[in-house]
Structure 1
Amino acid sequence: MIEGKVNKGSSHLVQFAEEELRAIQESTFDAIFTCSLDGVLTGIWPGAARRNSHLDGLLGCSLNDVVHPEDLETVKAFISKVKRLGTVRPGPECRLRQLDGSWRWYSVNASLVCGVDGEPLYVAGVARDLSEQKETEKHLKHLATHDYLTGIPNRYYFDGALSRARRLAKEGTVSSLLLIDVDKFNLVNDLLDHDMGDRLLTNLSRLLKSQIRRDDVLARLSGDEFGLLLHGMAEAEAEKVALNLCHIVKERDLCPVLEGCDLRFTVSIGVAEINGHQDVRQVLSRAGAALHMAKMAGRSQVVVAYANERMFSRLEETSRLIQIVRGADREGRFQLFFMPVVRSSDGAVEHYEALLRLRDGDGKLIPPATFIPVAESFGLMGDIERWVVAEAVRFLVKNPQLRLYVNLSGESLGDKEILNFIEEIVQTTPAIHGRLGFEITETAAVRDLMSAEQWVQKLRSLGCRFALDDFGSGYSSFAYLNKLPVDFIKIDGSFVRSIDHDPERHALVKGINQLVHSLGKRTISEYVENDRIWRLIREMGIEYGQGYYLGEPSPLPQDMASESTELDPRQGIKRR
Structure 2
Amino acid sequence: MAGTHASTKHKQRGVATLRTILLLFTGGLLVLILIAGFITSFGYFRDYVAGQLAGHARDGATAVGLSLSNAIDARDPVAAASLIDAVFDSGRYLSVKYLNHKGGEVAGRSMALSDIRVPPWFRSIANLKLHVAEAEVVRGWSRLGKVQVVSHPGRAYEDLWRITVGLVASTAIIGGVGLFALFLLLRRTLRPLDELEQQAQAVGQRDFRRRVTVRSTRELNQVTAAMNQMADDLGQLFDGQAKLIQHLRRLNNEDSVTGLLTRNAFDQRLKVEVESEEKAAPGVVIMVQLSNFAGFNQAYGRSEANRLLLRIAGVVHSFLETHAGSFASRPTGAEFTIFVPGAMPADAGVWCRELVVEMDGVYADMAAPMDTAVHAGMARTREGRGTRDLMAAADEALRQAQAGEESACHLADAEKEGHHDLETWRMIISQAIRDQSISLWLQPMVSEEQAVPVYHQVFSRIDNVEGSLKAGVFVPMAERFGLIADIDRLLVQRVLARLAEVPDQPLAVSLGSASVASESFRNDVLGMLEQAGPNARQLWIGIAEQAIHHHRTAVRLFVRELGRLGVPVLVDRFGVGGVPFSYLRNLRFQALRIDNSFIHDVDTHEDNRFYLESVLAIAHSRGVKVFATGVETAAEYSVLSKLGIDGAMGYHLGRPFAADNQLTGD
TM range (shorter): 0.3 to 0.5
Select the structure with the greater relative contact order (CA < 8 A; seq sep ≥ 6). Answer: 2
- Higher-Rg structure is 2
Structure with the bigger percentage of helix:
2
In the superposition, the TM-score normalised over structure 1's length comes to: 0.46
Q: Which has the higher strand share?
A: 1
